[in-house]
Structure 1
């Protein structure tokens, strides 16, 4: 486990923790990720919150929401599937 120094600073009416890019990359985190915060025995554990399908759909539409896949041709009708 790599150790690094960070600092706590005031950000408006809140406090924030500064983490360098290397730490974020090693943890698989990106700017804007939502985190779950757990406190146990004086230690703070941050884990990335998994997105629900609702969050995924909302992000899709917030980011332009266009579906650009081409239609798949499965061939002509077979049997009694003609409508």
Structure 2
């Protein structure tokens, strides 16, 4: 575990915490990540919230993702399939 400095500042009607780039990167954070905040004995612990499949799909399309998969040929029909 490493120790880094951060700063609390006012942002509109809220308060924010500023992290330097090395702390941000070391924590594996990205802009827009959601965090879970736990408070115990006047200490804050931040944990990165895992994305569910809905969030992953939305991020994919927000970042210009396109789904383009070629049709797969499974060979000749067997049984009673109708095409």
CA distance in 2, matches of 1:66, 1:36: 31
Aligned to 2:6: 6
Q: Give, in angstroms, the shift of residue 7 of structure 1.
A: 0.6
Question: SS at the partner of 1:45?
Answer: strand
CA distance in 2, matches of 1:56, 1:49: 12
Q: Give, in angstroms, the shift of residue 41 of structure 1.
A: 1.8
Alignment of 1:9-48 (within 5 A): 9-48=9-48
TM-score, normalised by the number of residues in structure 2: 0.81
**Number of equivalent positions:** 82
TM-score, normalised by the number of residues in structure 1: 0.81
CA distance in 1, matches of 2:80, 2:9: 65
Structure 1 stretches lacking a partner, 5+ long: none
Q: CA RMSD in A?
A: 1.8
Question: SS at the partner of 1:29?
Answer: coil
Aligned to 1:80: 79
